[in-house]
Amino acid sequence: MEWKGRHDQALRGPRVRLAAGVPCEDNSSFVPASGPEDSFVGSENVIDNYAAGCNIHLTLARVLRPGSSLLAMVRLATTCAAAALLGWRRAFTEDDLYANGCWLEGRHPVIERRLWQARPTQPKNQLFLYDVTSSYLEGDYNALAAWGYNRDHKEGKKQLVVGLLTDSQGEPVSIQVYRGNTSDLKTFGQQVHKIKKELGCEGVTLVGDRGMIRTDQKAAAQKAEFHFVTALTKPQIQKLLADKVLQLELFEEKVHDVLGEDGRRFVLRRNPVRQQEIKLAREQKHQALEAALKKANTYLDEHPRAKVATQRRHMAVRLESLKVGDWLKLTINKQRLALTLDAQALQAAAQLDGCYVVETDLKAPQADAQTIHDRYKDLALVERDFRTLKIGHLEFRPWFVCTENNTQAHALTSLLALKVRRHLERAWWSLEVTVEEGLCELEKLCVVELVHPESAEVVTCQVPEPSTRQKQLLEALKLKLPATVPETEVIVGTRRKINKVRKPLKNKAQSKILTPKLNGTFR
């Protein structure tokens, strides 16, 4: 009997199978062997049944097609073996994903708690890093959208506030979306409750950035028997210097430990690199203003009727925008503008360049000054996760959801996708390949459908032998491809057809081409 092969693009199928942990017909397993680096292992046991399959598809679709709407994620399922590998037994449309948001958000605390409990190692004393960011919205229909502090510098856009909690290594633990006008301070108490009650942690130290942990937040942490590490703002440092609690000469490249009379502990340091950067920026601002001043005076010389007050007003606006008014003064001398440098004020403005103070309630026997300093600097790990979520690989913007449940579910799905991405990055690190390059390479693997020449029925779907590079990527993940992919009769499609909402391209025959005549008119 003669057979013919038909190829479908499909490593999206094996890739969907990659972290799902769903058994194939031949009992081949795609679940990685557990190890200390497998921090997301166990996620397939957190949720189950049909809803679990939807969420696994959502999570991996976020890794494979970042920035996609739910409609696009359904279209992705039509081009891969998702239905077969995830065991779907009924038709699947975008309505299933929208409805699944309520199911997922209702289990949000349970999922985060079980993932936390599934960690390979569980040290007694825990350190958590916490920070918030904002995300702008296109449109006005999201339930949590509000006018708030715009970190993305998108004028005229409503915001969402997103809080991300990670462990000491930057591994995401919890995510929560708040209304766009929520203060950073108001989100902190909920994280204390979550760590204490839902995760059941003790001996916790919370690390937060400037303005995140203040008097009320410190009291909430101490009430829960937690410790805190945060940094002081510049006005707070200046007040401590004025009160003689801190001395300016203690700010050096090496950290210094200072214990205040009220029992507060401060770790002081001056970053020489940052100090030089601020000094250079200040000099560049001065040079830019001198150039603008020369241009303004030239204009006054060339236009005798021009008003010097108008040019002074324009220059004053520039001084205010560059925030140099403390040490650079604008004056008028004989109908010409002049800049005067106040050396004493400049010295006062530069005395705290590169200086920062870390505050904690940890005692010296619990952690030395260098350890406290380094743990505060670990907040860069949370910022790295935010970059991955917002402008990097996962790109959870724009938000194609409206209800609060679907908004929270979208954030949770993005957190799970971030955990998958971090696992891929660790596994492929030694191969010197990025996650994006690795996924692109694996996407070249296709499923071969063997079709009966007479009935045109698909007899079996075989997985071909991967290439050498693909084998390296799979072996690094400790995965083994099955020999075949199970067949499915489930219909996967979109209820909403994209041709109804997009404008078609015009054919050349439909377009009127204007041809000029010799007399200059058009026909």
Q: What is the pLDDT of residue 3?
A: 33
- The 3 state secondary structure assigned to 86-139 is CCCCCCECHHHHHHHHHHHHHCHHHHHHHHHHCCCCCCCCCEEEEEEEEEECCC
How many domains are there within the chain?
Answer: 3
For residue range 300-339, list pLDDT tens digits in order.
999 999 999 999 999 999 999 999 999 999 999 888 999 9
For residue range 39-54, list pLDDT tens digits in order.
444 444 444 577 888 8
Judged against a pLDDT cut of 60, whether residue 18 lies above it is answered with: no
Within-domain flag for 264: no
Judged against a pLDDT cut of 90, whether residue 182 lies above it is answered with: yes
- Radius of gyration of the chain, Cα coordinates, nearest whole angstrom: 30
pLDDT band at 383 (very low <50, low <70, confident <90, very high): very high
The answer to whether the beta carbons of residues 328 and 350 sit under 8 Å apart is: no
Asked whether residue 385 falls in the same domain as residue 476, the answer is no
Query: Sign of dihedral through CA atoms 434, 435, 436, 438?
Result: positive
pTM: 0.82
Asked whether residue 184 falls in the same domain as residue 44, the answer is no
Mean pLDDT confidence for 501-517: 64
Asked whether residue 97 falls in the same domain as residue 148, the answer is no
Q: What is the pLDDT of residue 337?
A: 94
pLDDT band at 514 (very low <50, low <70, confident <90, very high): low
CATH number of the domain to which 217 belongs: 3.30.420
List helix spans (H) across 354-467: 369-377, 379-390, 404-427, 435-442
The DSSP bridge pattern shows strands 205-208 and 127-136 to be parallel
Within-domain flag for 93: yes
Asked whether residue 176 falls in the same domain as residue 204, the answer is yes
Asked whether residue 298 falls in the same domain as residue 375, the answer is no
Strand, coil or helix: what is 230?
strand
Asked whether residue 54 falls in the same domain as residue 137, the answer is no
Within-domain flag for 258: no
Cα dist. 63→1, 10, 103, 141, 395 in Å? 42, 16, 21, 26, 9
Within-domain flag for 492: yes
Mean pLDDT confidence for 94-98: 83
DSSP letters of 287-335? HHHHHHHHHHHHHHHH-TTS-HHHHHHHHHHHHHHHT-TTTEEEEESSS
Within-domain flag for 256: no
Asked whether residue 217 falls in the same domain as residue 159, the answer is yes
Q: List the single range of 237-251, 275-289, 497-511 with lowest mean pLDDT.
A: 497-511
Within-domain flag for 82: yes
Asked whether residue 373 falls in the same domain as residue 227, the answer is yes
Supply angle C-alpha 374, 170, 233, rounded to 5. Answer: 50
Within-domain flag for 513: no
Q: Which residues neighbour 291 within 8 Å (Cβ) at sequence distance 6 or greater? A: none
Q: What's the domain range around 94?
A: 10-108+407-444+466-500
pLDDT averaged over every residue in the chain? 84
Asked whether residue 168 falls in the same domain as residue 217, the answer is yes
Mean pLDDT confidence for 412-431: 96
Q: What is the pLDDT of residue 456?
A: 84
Asked whether residue 192 falls in the same domain as residue 104, the answer is no
Judged against a pLDDT cut of 80, whether residue 125 lies above it is answered with: no
Asked whether residue 141 falls in the same domain as residue 228, the answer is yes
Q: What is the pLDDT of residue 183?
A: 92
Within-domain flag for 356: no
Asked whether residue 207 falls in the same domain as residue 229, the answer is yes
